[in-house]
């Protein structure tokens, strides 16, 4: 999915996916006495525990904690074509964190996408989803963040080029793409379904990856959950609305729940950015909430066709040559785990035959897996996952294209041949 020049006007608001609440470190004169506290210490402890759970559901730790660093101290860099952005410190430090933020300040950021001082937040902070979070849940998350250890470390300012550092550019974007409002339950659906919808559409902000963006950097409303490239991460978030990709219409609810909770199921395993989501967030959620999410995901309307993705094409003759070469490479390197017939040994080694993620129009994910390898997340339900070794050093671009072509076109799979040029492009792409 290539973006043209129109995207430049507001692209920074999308590529800032890791820059959650980019101005949360702003100072201010408000004191802590603006905070409403729970009635008793026991109530406060329960509120904090609830907030910790909800912060996990929102995966706040992923962007606000540098690997090996102190929790929620920020500083995670995100290199973009427009400069580098850095995630902020959201610990309760008065000087550099959110120590002087009140519950109202925090809810305003979550619900309206405005900072403590009223300035506009970049929608890389998913306020377009978080606006659906209830005030009670926002207050619980706030109470939890107030309970973590303050870290007296300044947040680095973004190093963005002009004009992308001008926040007033967001006014037009918000007019087009932001609708403020808490989640409203659908009275025709069950309590479980509504809970799943609230988590998926709100705190989980799943649509940020699984919905395509348009030329102005806004979500395509008609393509909700229809898949798209994840900006800067060089992974493809497959469509949840098409059984030709990751559509869940023909999945058992248990398989969906297993995948969310443990990262593996009899239908496949998660890798890349989704593995991080399972590791940091979903594995800690209750079985009831996981089942609610699976129930909701199961009912997302399915479309007969997956969205068309820009794919580099090879000639029919060259594709046939790649297919023949790929068969030998697969036998030598892949069949031991995934079997000669492509059925694998699930859940440890996922099947490649009749696997939507292998044969969908975008070949980005299978190419990246062959190049870089990876592991499903280590979770309580799957503490010692089997991994995929990287082959970037062992196979040339043409050889990788060949084996991915073979996998995409064998055992009844209906994928197309892969171009060595696409492998070359992804070989040099960042791993994160």
Q: What is the pLDDT of residues 6-18, one digit of tens each?
A: 223 233 333 333 3
Return the closest-CA partner of residue 250 out of 196, 306, 298, 303.
Answer: 298
pLDDT (0 to 100) of residue 260: 93
Q: Does the residue 90 lie in any domain?
A: yes
Task: Write the CA distances from 208 to 21, 130, 218, 224, integer angstroms.
Answer: 15, 11, 10, 9
- In this model, does residue 190 exceed pLDDT 50? yes
Considering the domain architecture, whether residues 292 and 321 belong to the same structural domain is answered as no
DSSP-derived secondary structure letter, 266: T
Domain membership flag for residue 171: no
Q: What's the pLDDT score for residue 338? A: 93
Q: What is the share, in percent, of the chain residues with pLDDT greater than 70?
A: 79
Diameter over CA atoms, the chain: 74
pLDDT for 35 beyond 90: no
Q: What is the mean pLDDT of residues 169-192?
A: 91
pLDDT of 175 over the 60 cut: yes
| Residue 137 reports pLDDT greater than 90 | yes
Same domain, 125 and 219: no
Number of domains in the chain: 3
For the chain, the first-to-last Cα distance in angstroms comes to: 19
Residue after which a domain boundary falls, among 235, 263, 298: 298
Domain region containing 338: 316-427
The per-residue pLDDT for 148 is 96
Same domain? For 35 and 143 the reply is yes
The closest of 248, 251, 211, 208 to 227, measured between CA atoms, is 211
pLDDT value at 114 more than 60: yes
Average pLDDT over residues 415-428: 82
pLDDT value for 316:
75
Same domain, 221 and 291: yes
**Percentage of the chain exceeding pLDDT 90:** 41
Per-residue pLDDT of 244-255, as tens digits, reads 666 677 788 999
Residue 130 binned pLDDT confidence (cut-offs 50, 70, 90): very high
Q: Tell me, yes or no, whether 130 and 25 share the same domain.
A: yes
Same domain, 204 and 120: no
CATH number at residue 380: 1.10.760.10
Condensed to tens digits (0 to 9), the pLDDT of residues 221-231 reads 656 776 666 65
- The full DSSP string for 80-128 is ETTEEEEPPP-SS-TTTSSTT--HHHHHHHHHHSB-TTSPBPPTTS-HH
Q: Considering the domain boundaries, does residue 257 fall inside one?
A: yes
pLDDT per residue as tens digits for the range 279-307:
999 999 999 999 999 999 988 877 655 44
pLDDT above 60 for 386: yes
Same domain, 137 and 232: no
pLDDT value at residue 229: 66
Same domain membership, residue 340 and residue 410 = yes
**Where residue 86 falls among pLDDT bands split at 50, 70, 90?**
confident
State the average pLDDT over residues 308-328: 75
Q: 404 in a domain, yes or no?
A: yes
Binning pLDDT at 50, 70 and 90, where does residue 138 land?
very high
Among the residue ranges 68-82, 87-101, 199-213, the one predicted with the least confidence is: 68-82
Based on the fold, state whether residues 39 and 137 are members of the same structural domain.
yes
Is residue 166 included in any domain, yes or no? no
Cα–Cα distance for residue pair 302/259, rounded to 1 Å = 19
Q: Which residue has the higher pLDDT, 348 or 27?
A: 348
- DSSP 8-state code for residue 215: T
Q: How confident is the model at residue 215 (pLDDT cuts 50, 70, 90)?
A: low
């Amino acid at each position: 999915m290539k973006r043209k020049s129109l995207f430049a006007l507001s692209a920074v608001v999308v590529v800032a996916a890791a820059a959650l609440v980019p101005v949360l470190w702003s100072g201010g004169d408000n004191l802590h006495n603006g905070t409403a506290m729970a009635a008793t210490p026991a109530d406060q402890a329960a509120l904090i525990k609830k907030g910790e759970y909800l912060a996990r559901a929102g995966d706040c730790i992923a962007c606000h904690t540098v690997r090996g660093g102190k929790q929620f101290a920020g500083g995670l860099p995100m290199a973009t074509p427009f400069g580098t952005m850095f995630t902020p410190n959201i610990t309760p430090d008065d000087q550099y964190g959110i120590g002087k933020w009140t519950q109202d300040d925090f809810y305003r950021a979550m619900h309206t996408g405005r900072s403590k001082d009223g300035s506009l937040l970049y929608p890389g902070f998913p306020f377009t989803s978080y606006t659906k979070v209830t005030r009670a849940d926002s207050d619980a998350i706030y109470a939890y963040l107030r309970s973590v250890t303050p870290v007296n470390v300044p947040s680095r300012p973004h190093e963005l080029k002009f004009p992308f550092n001008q926040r007033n550019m967001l006014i037009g974007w918000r007019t087009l793409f932001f609708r403020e409002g808490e989640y409203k339950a659908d009275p025709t659906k069950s309590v479980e379904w509504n809970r799943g919808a609230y988590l998926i559409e709100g705190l989980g902000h799943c649509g940020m990856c699984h919905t395509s963006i348009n030329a102005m950097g806004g979500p395509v409303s008609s393509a909700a959950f229809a898949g798209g490239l994840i900006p800067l991460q060089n992974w493809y978030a497959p469509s949840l609305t098409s059984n030709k990709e990751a559509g869940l219409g023909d999945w058992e609810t248990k398989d969906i729940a297993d995948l969310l909770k443990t990262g593996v199921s009899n239908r496949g395993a998660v890798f890349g950015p989704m593995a991080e989501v399972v590791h940091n967030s979903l594995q800690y959620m209750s079985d009831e909430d996981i089942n609610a999410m699976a129930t909701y995901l199961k009912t997302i309307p399915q479309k007969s066709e997956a969205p068309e993705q820009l794919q580099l094409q090879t000639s029919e003759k060259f594709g046939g040559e790649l297919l023949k070469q790929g068969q030998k490479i697969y036998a030598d390197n892949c069949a031991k785990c995934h079997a000669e017939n492509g059925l694998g040994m699930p859940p440890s080694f996922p099947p490649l035959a009749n696997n939507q993620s292998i044969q969908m129009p975008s070949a980005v994910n299978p190419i990246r897996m062959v190049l870089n390898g990876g592991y499903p997340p280590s979770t309580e339900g799957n503490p010692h996952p089997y991994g995929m070794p990287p082959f970037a050093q062992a196979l040339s671009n043409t050889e990788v294209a060949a084996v991915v072509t073979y996998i995409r076109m064998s055992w009844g799979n209906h994928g197309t041949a892969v171009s060595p040029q696409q492998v070359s492009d992804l070989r040099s792409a960042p791993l994160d």
